[in-house]
Structure 1
């Protein structure tokens, strides 16, 4: 059994205030006995792109989180932060996993970049300031194997099948999910990813409207391997602490062997196109 905490934040452009909120949440998680704390996307800074807020591993905000992980003996999954890509105009959106010594033990750079085009409104286009990653990652951690992703990745089920095939039993989906799409899509997609892959899904989220006018949906969730929501937040800051049972994943995968019935050899070929009125 592994206790974990899923953190919901209302981060903004004030990095100092954000880091104070992060520290408070991590101390709450540690006090609850959690081995892991999961922070949402854009935890350190949520606002207009600014190269000054792109941090290498030894940057001040990342050092502070590393120090908290070390002090609290708590593994921390920082859901998304800008890290250098080699192009000052386009940073990576990176999920960083800190171990209990404060070391960055794993990283994942967001592969799918969000874009939303609504009539008569400027496009929300993450690619305007973000470089896409080009690989996937899982983290072995005792009784669980953690598959990493970020927010908009949620809409691409092949990514999560890739993670499950690599051994993931828990899927991490830190998010700054749009309040426009969230009411219709957020819970449905998270439950679908859990059901498809017979995995736990942990989804820490942002709330509120940032200084660019982007509004986040919140409603952080924990979903079990059968698709049942076992913990949820509303639209306020929160720390959800739950106990993950690796045996639940094993039992469900033994009952329903869909992961073993995948046919990637078939899916690799384009679908045959037939004409009804040929």
Structure 2
């Protein structure tokens, strides 16, 4: 089943309009597209599916499109080395460069297994409408968990962790990126808010143990804590895969409201983000200025 949703995010109702605050902004609203696709043991087929989904969102006039974690590869330690590519010279990067420049969009390449010398990373790349690579984010927190009768996984057995936080600008909106397990660490989201981000993007692949428990809860928590839009961009459920993604890609507004979400299957989502809502929430519930930085502080090292 394929799901296609387009919805407009509404403003927090009890405030006066502050559109004049955005007179110098390129886009006081920004159309965000999210792809939820499955990944088979066939890179060319995975890129074909990604192309189809991007084309679908381009027809909806999205300004920025985000792909899921490991969109070109099955997710699993047995696959990372086989599918790994150098950035920006690999097959997948050439595909992302083409799709961003041809369609004149910002394109966030979810994540792919990256090979850099002897090391492998789980890496997201961001491409501007000219087809230029403007940044990459290497997953900072590796997915090492052991839940008896649930799931056991150890990314660190083959991947190396990144050690930098990543922001980029699109149409004067500022974005921060985390990959999957990065979502669990509020400190990272706080640093992005400190850096002025309006939107946090989390390509991910929560599973059928942690997904029902925590996926939406964490997305809403990051949004409320930091008064930002948050997009959780999951892979779709693939019945024959060794790792089963939970799906349920979601876009959450700065009030913590789930504006739209998918189910398990392949889908595209499209939402108009509203900068006035970000401003109103921050003005009306001004927790950022009320933090006791004389007592505690979150700092980048």
- In the superposition, the TM-score normalised over structure 2's length comes to 0.84
Report SS of the residue matched to 1:5. strand
Query: Deviation at 1:24?
Result: 0.4
Structure-2 change in CA distance of 1:72 and 1:119 (3 Å): same
User: Is 1:208 matched with 2:237?
Assistant: yes
CA contact (8 A) 2:139 2:161 kept: yes
Structure-2 change in CA distance of 1:11 and 1:247 (3 Å): same
CA contact (8 A) 1:2 1:143 kept: no
User: Is 1:108 matched with 2:137?
Assistant: yes
User: Is 1:149 matched with 2:178?
Assistant: yes
Query: Deviation at 1:155?
Result: 0.6
Match of 2:61 in 1: 33
* Structure of greater relative contact order (alpha carbons < 8 Å, 6+ residues apart): 2
Report SS of the residue matched to 2:111. strand
Match of 2:110 in 1: 79
Q: What RMSD in Å do the two structures reach over aligned CA positions?
A: 1.8
Structure 1 residues without counterparts, runs of 5 or longer: 270-278
CA contact (8 A) 2:262 2:269 kept: yes
Q: Distance in 2 between matches of 1:160 and 1:121?
A: 27
Q: Distance in 2 between matches of 1:66 and 1:210?
A: 31
User: Is 1:11 matched with 2:42?
Assistant: no
Q: Distance in 2 between matches of 1:210 and 1:253?
A: 42
Residues 224-233 or 90-99, more deviating: 90-99
Query: Deviation at 1:207?
Result: 2.0
Count of residues paired in the alignment:
267
Residues 250-259 or 115-124, more deviating: 115-124
Match of 1:97 in 2: 126
- In the superposition, the TM-score normalised over structure 1's length comes to 0.91
Q: Distance in 2 between matches of 1:188 and 1:198?
A: 15
Match of 1:217 in 2: 246
Match of 1:258 in 2: 287
Query: Deviation at 1:177?
Result: 1.1
Match of 1:192 in 2: 221
Q: Distance in 2 between matches of 1:161 and 1:36?
A: 23
Structure 2 residues without counterparts, runs of 5 or longer: 1-28
1:69-89 C-alpha deviation (Å, 9 max, x unpaired): 1111121111111112332xx
1:146-184 C-alpha deviation (Å, 9 max, x unpaired): 011111111100000000100110000111111111101
Residues 42-51 or 69-78, more deviating: 42-51
Query: Deviation at 1:49?
Result: 2.9
Structure-2 change in CA distance of 1:117 and 1:170 (3 Å): same
Runs of 4+, deviation exceeding 4 Å = 209-212
